[in-house]
Amino acid sequence: MIDQQVEARKAASTSAAMSATEDAQALALANAQVQESDYAALVPVMTPVLERELAHANSLGKVQEVQDQIESVRRIMEQNVEMMLDRQELLGSLEAKTSDLQEMAGIVRQKARRLRRWHLMNQVKWGVAIGTLVTASVAIPIAVIAAA
């Protein structure tokens, strides 16, 4: 029946004898003749097409969902890379501070060694001076007693 209607429409549109108003009337008449039974005949034909289009539309949503996930992962990776670079800068400054601290510790060690030697030499000087004084103070009276 649909084929008959299509042929009727073609015949109506290709007919050169009909005027434009007659074409419009014939087309309106052909469209009006489509009944509910014709719609029922269209259901098996249109169902796979509609399902395919619906699946395609749903797959576009899935594609968008996957793209959103990719964008989210990309943002997280960018944040991780920025944090790694910040940590690398902090580690570089920490390494510089560590080397400075090692140099200062070496200087403190050298100065502490010099200070210990200075104190030791002072003790030796004072020990020799006091020892000489005590020896002289004891030796002089003994020499005076021995000479008398």
Does the CA dihedral 35-40-41-42 come out positive or negative?
positive
Report pLDDT for 56.
79
Report pLDDT for 47.
84
The answer to whether 46 touches 40, Cβ cutoff 8 Å, is: no
* 3-class SS string, 116-146: HHHHHHHHHHHHHHHHHHHHHHHHHHHHHHH
DSSP code, position 33:
T
The answer to whether 43 touches 72, Cβ cutoff 8 Å, is: no
Report pLDDT for 74.
96
The answer to whether the pTM exceeds 0.75 is no
Residues composing the chain: 148
- In whole angstroms, what is the distance from residue 45 CA to residue 1 CA? 14
Q: Which among 43, 45, 24 has a CA at the least distance from the CA of 9?
A: 24
Q: What is the pLDDT along the chain (148 residues), one digit of tens a residue?
A: 566 665 666 665 555 444 667 766 766 666 666 555 666 677 787 788 888 888 877 777 777 888 899 999 999 999 999 999 999 999 999 999 999 999 999 999 999 999 999 999 999 999 999 999 999 888 888 888 888 7
Residue 9: other Cβ atoms inside 10 A: 15
